[in-house]
Amino acid sequence: MNRYVTASALAIVAMAGPALADVTPQQVWDDFDAYMSNFGYDITATEVMEGSDLVVSDMTMVVTIPEEDGVVRVVMPPMTFADAGDGSVNVTYPDVSQIELFFVEREETVGEVVIEMTQAAFAMNVSGNPGDMTYTYSGDSIALELIRAFGDGEEITRDMLSATMTMGPLSGTSHVMQADGMRSIEQEQSLGDLAIDMVFKDPDGDEGGMFNMQLTGITGTGATVLPEELDYEDPASMFKNGGSVDAVLKHSGGATQFTFDEGDGPTAGQFTSTGGEFAVAVSETALTYALSGTGQTVALSGPELPLPINAELGEFGFALEMPLAPSETPQDASLSVVIGNFTMADMLWNIFDPAEVLPRDPATVAFNLDAQVTPFVSLFDTDAVEELGRTGGMPGELNSVTLSDFVIDVVGGVILGSGAFTFDNSDLETFDGLPRPMGQLDLQVSGANTLIDSLISMGLLPEQDAMGFRMMLSMFTVPGEEPDTMTSTIEINEEGHVLANGQRIQ
């Protein structure tokens, strides 16, 4: 299913550009056929020329699933490839059509899904020449609705499960090129607003629920390179043979609501955001992954929750960059996390702080780590990775780490920090099997004593434990210039000595 959805989206929805030369309806269809066959689909269809137009009907795409001893068979609606008269081709679908999916195991149909597709004012034009086609598309909307589902020996009726998805208005362009055994796709698209609605109910009981998700202002850009000889049973082979993916998807706001009832009362939730972004870039040598969101809220209630949960998060971010291929020299890696301006409802605060002793200001936790690492094996080499698991070997070396923008700002206490360390991988004895670090970490702390006093007054921290905390702080910090502030410099020198503010502690 994942392979079908991905390939179909790339093949049908992602295309564009000005005409470079003449292209015929047969050439456009042949390109679609070759592209889907590249993903392991066996395509059969009836091709009929009606004048200068090509009508493709009875299209069936079959993909084998060896591990399940089965296949997935997809029956697609008819397509018309019409000569536009200017060297380009217009591709059209019926305004209302059906997509049928059949799941077959050991030559027996074990599942079936029928989806109705409705489109409004959808148009696609293909120009260029074989091996260098450009596509442009637009439409008011596309809607999918579940019509019929069958599985586990019984039919799932629309009274049991109803599901719809709408998207639009849509527009986009894509440039598809073939050269040297590779197919590249560069695309830019606007998908408008997305809405997904599901309602489900147990016909034999009181269990049921609903799910609704809406995203506004969806846009995307991407560049994909695929080997024409792709081993679809080994997805990693795409990258090992020169393939790559670089995509960014954004939205300008979203809302999700759900309820479900297992017979003991409804559990409900709502999530909203003012925007978000997802980005991923993968090649044989490196991975970059990033996820972010703004203006997020959450509200949960239900019989298993002692009270409703309400919270807000002004900003969330996660970004990871890492090498994937073995190297004889250090490579860049990084990790960034931001959880900014987190707040929760007074009802939750009052559970553990009814007297409002602690400040209820928004909380923030954030840091950036930049590193240099030397990978020993390719993470796409499953045999090598499994061998490391059996032998306990290391997948690589950590050469250096730099910490920046380190912030912990919670309940009145603030810690700021930065630092940098290098690692001697030839010395695994000084730090008990770990490479010996050398460098310095600088910290600034404020509000620590006030926070300890507050926890004591709330009864959350006994006096004797508080004394131990204060003693530990005095060992690792020195007083700052302002009241209730302190600084700390933790250093590891080339002899492996650990020093706090110039005093050796190890």
**Predicted pLDDT at 151:** 84
**Predicted pLDDT at 106:** 79
Least confident of 99-113, 189-203, 249-263, 343-357: 99-113
Q: Is the pLDDT of residue 326 over 80?
A: yes
**Predicted pLDDT at 506:** 82
Q: Return the ∠ at Cα 28 (arms to 26 and 34), rounded to 5°.
A: 100
Q: Is the pLDDT of residue 3 over 70?
A: no
**Predicted pLDDT at 112:** 93
**Predicted pLDDT at 398:** 96
**Predicted pLDDT at 229:** 79
Question: Quick one: average pLDDT of 61-74?
Answer: 79
Rounded Cα–Cα distance for residues 274 and 91 (Å): 36
Q: Is the pLDDT of residue 199 over 70?
A: yes
Q: Is the pLDDT of residue 12 over 50?
A: no
Instruction: For residue 361, give the 3-state DSSP assignment.
Output: coil
**Predicted pLDDT at 69:** 65
CA quadruple 248, 254, 260, 265: dihedral sign: positive
Confidence of residue 232 (pLDDT cuts 50, 70, 90): low
Look up tokens 């690492």; give the residue. 373
**Predicted pLDDT at 13:** 38
**Predicted pLDDT at 67:** 65
**Predicted pLDDT at 228:** 83
For residue range 237-292, list pLDDT tens digits in order.
Answer: 788 888 999 999 999 999 999 999 987 889 999 999 999 999 999 999 999 999 99
For residue range 52-65, list pLDDT tens digits in order.
Answer: 999 999 999 998 87
Look up tokens 């360390």; give the residue. 421
More confident residue, 62 or 197: 197
Least confident of 222-231, 348-357, 476-485: 222-231
Q: Beta strands 436-446 and 478-479: pairing type?
A: unpaired
**Predicted pLDDT at 18:** 37
Rounded Cα–Cα distance for residues 222 and 203 (Å): 44
More confident residue, 477 or 41: 477
**Predicted pLDDT at 144:** 97
Cβ atoms of residues 92 and 77 within 8 Å: no
**Predicted pLDDT at 164:** 97
Rounded Cα–Cα distance for residues 435 and 420 (Å): 15
For residue range 358-388, list pLDDT tens digits in order.
Answer: 999 999 999 999 999 999 999 888 888 888 8
3-state SS of 263-325 is: CCCEEEEEEEECEEEEEEEECCCEEEEEEEEEEEEEEEECCCCCCCEEEEEEEEEEEEEEECC
Cis previous bond, 169, omega within 30: yes
Q: Beta strands 309-323 and 286-301: pairing type?
A: antiparallel
Q: Is the pLDDT of residue 407 over 80?
A: yes
How many Cβ atoms sit within 10 Å of the Cβ of residue 26? 14
In the predicted model, what is the mean pLDDT of the chain?
90
**Predicted pLDDT at 15:** 34
Q: Is the pLDDT of residue 231 over 90?
A: no
Confidence of residue 66 (pLDDT cuts 50, 70, 90): low
Question: Quick one: average pLDDT of 168-173?
Answer: 97
Q: What percentage of the chain exceeds 70 in pLDDT?
A: 94
All residues at 6 or more sequence positions from 316 whose CB lies less than 8 Å from its CB, including other chains: 291, 292, 293, 294, 296, 338, 339, 340
Both tokens of 399, joined, read: 């050469």
Q: Is the pLDDT of residue 1 over 60?
A: no
Rounded Cα–Cα distance for residues 176 and 167 (Å): 24
Q: What percentage of the chain exceeds 90 in pLDDT?
A: 74
Give helix 463-476 / helix 448-457 axis angle, nearest 10°.
Answer: 170
Rounded Cα–Cα distance for residues 104 and 72 (Å): 6
